[in-house]
Each structure stands twice: as structure tokens, then as C-alpha cells.
Chains A and B, each alone.
Chain A
Amino acid sequence: MATPTAAQRAAGTALDFFTTMILLLIFAIGCEVSTTAWAESGKFTQAFMDWLRSLDPTLQDVLAALGRAILAIIPVFAPVPFIIWYERRLLSWMQDRIGPNRTGNITFSRTSKLIPSFLKGKKFKLFGLAQSIADGIKLFTKEDIMPTKTDKFLFILGPLIALFVALTLGGTIPWAGDRRFTPVADINVGLLYVMAISSLGAYGLVLAGYSSNNKYSLLGALRASAQLISYELAMGVSLAAMVMVTGSLKMTEIVAAQEAPLLGFIGFLPNWNIFTPFGLVSGFIFLICMFAETNRPPFDLPEAENELVAGYHTEYSTKRWGLFMMAEYMAMFTFSMVFSTVFLGGYHMPIRWEAIGMDFMAGIERSYLGGLSVMMLKGVAGLTLYIWVRATYPRFRYDQLMNLGWKFLLPVATANLIVTATWIMISKVYGAAPGWMFAIGLYAVAIAVYLLLRSKKSRQYLDTRAVDMINQPARRAPEVVEPVAEVTA
């Protein structure tokens, strides 16, 4: 590279100087504008509030509801690109790959004179975060293909129902302690609303699969319908036990019931449902059903790639396909939120701050942003579990899936429901001590029976495996003919 002449160097310095000046000017103007806006904002807010109060009360309610609805959609909708990026990165890390880590990186030239000197050779890393956004834009601009003989209306409706379900699922979840902003509607049937909306999700998949006039899609749709309704049953029964313990279907009351001291006597820990003896069983069942309801591995039979091409969305392209993916990720996140609300104490941290006299932390917990952050952290923990399970477990076979749902989860959930009712009855009629004795005794019996069955079953299993291995035709390695070196005379 030729050394720059004195004139070129002077020009470069001048360019640097001017660019720096312009940037400083823009910064100063920005600060000035924002400061005046800050000073004015008090007046403006006052005027806005006055205008709001002058409106019709019904209209006020509707506006407030719309505002809360927007606040409920944003925490689900905005993180979708980050969730996808997070899944791809975490999954690659678990599989010893790198994953998307380049898209969005900006490297400024080291030699160009158009770049101011403080930016020369600088790198700005986005760690591949722009990849999902780029994918989204690409999906919008691709060709929209609709195969012949499709039922056009249902074909369009399918992904829209999936998205609708994912958006409205969080309608009754309290995202934080501030009742002005959240939940959207604190209705009396909050938990039933979640169940009802999540069961609508089956329609999206079934209509999509049925309307696209493809055999793979139809098979995927059938699988999806049977799987979703099977696991919904166990999910409903497991939640029913928690409703019985709380005595209310209201989401805010379910959260409030978990603020009490743990098990009634441990003062500094909250009584999260997952830590109660029968809440643990319910939570475990709900967790498994949660995976099945969102069609995630190991329950992703409706879109099993190696059997059904892509299952119910084989014929979908462009943003229609993207809507299915978006809905799936949003549903994953929202289901994690439902799990945190019902079993993990909602927007509360795992320590009762009031009981140990830390009012500052209690205040943070009660504020909107504080509660939202705690909720988000729990959601991210749920997502991590989703991804971890995807990286760990192979897909179920269809009869295994149905056996797990109908012959294991459903009876256990129902037994849990009956046992919870008995526990409440004993505690209320005979006092707390017999109730605890009942719970501990039952756990002891359950563990004993499990150990007994397991040892018997595993021995049987090993026996059959041994018989299978003996009966198998012997596998002999193919004989390798060694090339004989020619003897030279």
C-alpha cells in the first residue's frame, strides 16, 4: 500500500474533524430536544389525563382495556426473534456447533477515508441477533404458493388461528403486581380461559392440514388433533387439583395464595404450589402436557420430519409458514408463563421479602417493571428447559405417546385430584396434623410401590432383552478377502 501524501493526510484529518463536529452537533441537538421534551412532558401528560377524564366512562374503560391488551401482547410478541436466536445458539452449543453468530456484525474499513478515525477498524458485534430479523424479512418477500385443489379459505385461516391463540393465551396472566397495567382482564374464570384458548389451537393445525390437499399434511393434522386433545385432558385434571387447593379460578388469587409462608410454617419462603406435596405431582404432569400442547420435541409427531416431510405445514410457504413458527414460539413462552403463574408463584421472587424485613425488595417486586422482569426470567428458564429437552430426548413413537398420555398421565392426575380432595377434607375436618400424616404416609406408600414395581419391571425388561439377543441371528462380519501380493518370480 502506498503511503498517503501530505495533502491526503491533511484531507483525512479535516474529514475526521468535520464528521466529529457533525456527530457532536447531532448529539447536542438530541439532548436539547429530549430535555425540553422532558420538561414539557409533565404539562403534556397532565393535559392528556385531563382529556381522558373528560371522556365517557365506558370509552375510558375500553381505552384502558386496549392499553392493557397492548401491554400484554408486547412481552410475548417482541421477544420472538430473540427466542429463536436463543434456541438456535443454545442448541448449537449443546450439539458442539457454533450456530448463527455473524449476522449483523459491522466492521468499519481500516483504510477508507470516508470513515472517521475513531471508527476505523472498529467492530460492532450483534452475536447473530439480526439473523432472526433477516429471516423474518425474507419470509415476507417470498412467493406465496397455494397448491391446487386447496380449500382456500381454510388454508388462509389455519395459521391465523394458530397466531390468534398464541396472542390471546396470556389474557388473564398477571405479568406484575401493578393492577393498573396487568392482567388484561382479571375475570373469575381466568384459568378456564387459558384452557379454552389453548384447546382452540387444535383447530389451527387441523384446518391447515386438512385444507392443503396433501397426504402428509392430513396425517400430521390427524396426529396433532389426537395428541392435543389427549394431553389437554391430563392438563385440565392436573390444574383442577391446584384450583381445589386455591379455591379460585382467578389468576391473581392463585398468585396471591402462593404468597403465604411455605407449608404454613416456613416464614421466609413463599408457598409456591410446586413445593406443596401434591402440587409437585400436578406441576410435573402440567410440565409434560405443556410440551405436548406446543408440539415441541419429544412430542413433535405432527411435524415429524423423517416421516411426514413437515407434517401439517408441508404446503405452507412465506409468512404463512412463519406464522406457524411464530405462534409456536409465542405459545412456548406463554405456557412457561402459565406454569410460573400457577406453580412458581407468578411475579414473585422465591423469598418473602416482607418476612425478613427487606421492604426495598418487596417494593421492587410489587412494581410493574420489577414483576415483569421476574416473570420474564421465569419464562426464559422455561424456554431453556424446552430447548434442553429438545436437545436431549428422541421423539416418541405414536403408541408410546398415547400410552403416556392416557395410561400414565391421566390416571396419575386423577389420583392426584382425589388425593388432594381427601387431604383438604382431612385437614379441614380433623386438623392440620392428621392431614400432614396422611400426606407423608401416602408419599411413603407411593415411593415403596414405585421401587417394588421398578425392580420387578427392570428385571423383566432385562430378561426379554437377553432373550431377544439370544434369538437374533448371529451377526457375522463379512469376510474380507485379503489381497494377496503377487509373487514375482
Chain B
Amino acid sequence: MGSYIGILALMGLAVVLCAVFATISWLLGPKRNTTYKNAPYECGVAPVGDARERFPIKFYLVAIIFILFDIEVVFLWAWMTVYKGGTVEFIKFTFFEFLAFMSTWVLGYAYILKVKAIEWDEPEALPSEIQEAA
């Protein structure tokens, strides 16, 4: 616990600095609000509809894939710190365990490539390439 006091102190200091900056910019400066000034910026015309609309599912998909892959790596962190310093038997055994673990990673990666989960370009936008592929 001892060394984590430093982290807490740093975070506390950062929070204080953030609060100071937020308050200063609120205290200083004029406040003359008008309807037009407070309207959201949409190239100078009156905003159309609400901004919180639906957005492409791909962003959600990327987030899900990120979590899966990131957690796979998180499982490895603990092993990585002891791998190099271990005995020969430990290194031999865990190396093949590691390979087995990474093979699931590779399988998952091949799957997301196959279902085109991370394809972002729109194929219809490039007709010349489609013609060539066909």
C-alpha cells in the first residue's frame, strides 16, 4: 500500500488543478447569452433535429472486438513478468501453454477477418477495383 500513496497524491493534485481551471474560466469573462449565440453550430444555419441520432453499428462492433482481444492480453500480463526468470522446465512448459493460448487468439482474428468485422471501406464507392476483382 505504501507506494500507492503517491498515486493518490498525484490524482488529488490533478483533481485540484482541474477544479481550479474550471472555476477560473467560469469566474472570469463576460456572460451575455443570446438565443443565437447559444445555438449549436451547424454551418451558420438553424440546426436540424437532434444531434443524438443513430450511428453505424460498426463502432459498436469494434468496441466489442477490442474488449475481447484486450482481455486476452490482460490474461498474459501476469505470466510475462515471471516467464524469463523461471526454471528451464517452467519456461518449456509455459511456452507451449502460451502457444496454445495464442492459437485461440489467431483463430479469433482469422474469424473477424472472415466475417469482415473490421472492413471500413465501402465497396460500391470503387467500381474500377470491383471490375478487376471479378
Residues of chain A having any CB pair with chain B under 8 Å: 61-62, 65-66, 68-70, 72-73, 77, 139-149, 156, 160, 163-164, 167-168, 171, 183-187, 192-193, 210, 212-219, 222, 225-226, 229-230, 232-233, 236-237, 240, 243-249, 309, 314-315, 318-320, 322-323, 398-399, 402-403, 406-407, 410-411, 414, 417-418, 421-422, 424-425, 428-429, 464, 467-468, 471
Contact = CB atoms under 8 A, between A and B. Distances in A.
Contacts of A467: 128, 132
6 contacts: A140-B29, A213-B51, A214-B51, A247-B82, A247-B85, A319-B24
Given A240-B80, A421-B95, A425-B92, A156 B51 contact: no
A244 B84 contact: yes
Contacts of B3: 185-187
For the side of the interface on B, what is the size category? 35 or more
Contacts of B120: 398-399, 402-403
A240 B73 contact: yes
The secondary structure that dominates the B interface is helix
A143 B31 CA distance: 6
Interface string B68-105: 01100100110011111100100110010011001001
B108 to A, nearest CB: 11
A236 B38 contact: no
A229 B63 contact: yes
A218 B55 contact: yes
Interface in B33-84: 33, 35, 37-43, 47, 50-53, 55, 58-59, 62-63, 66, 69-70, 73, 76-77, 80-84
A72 B33 CA distance: 40
Contact of A248 (B81, B113, B118): B81
B130 interface: no
Nearest to A309: B41
B22 interface: yes
Interface of B: 2-15, 17-18, 21-22, 24-26, 28-33, 35, 37-43, 47, 50-53, 55, 58-59, 62-63, 66, 69-70, 73, 76-77, 80-85, 88, 91-92, 95, 98-99, 102, 105-106, 109, 113, 118-121, 128-129, 132
A156 B19 CA distance: 10
A414 to B, nearest CB: 7
Given A141-B29, A214-B42, A218-B52, A61 B2 contact: yes
A410 B128 CA distance: 29
Nearest to B112: A406
Contacts of B47: 214
Given A143-B32, A163-B21, A403-B120, A185 B5 contact: yes
B104 to A, nearest CB: 12
A192 B9 contact: no
Q: Which of B73, B84, B129 has the most CB of A within 10 A?
A: B84
B80 to A, nearest CB: 5
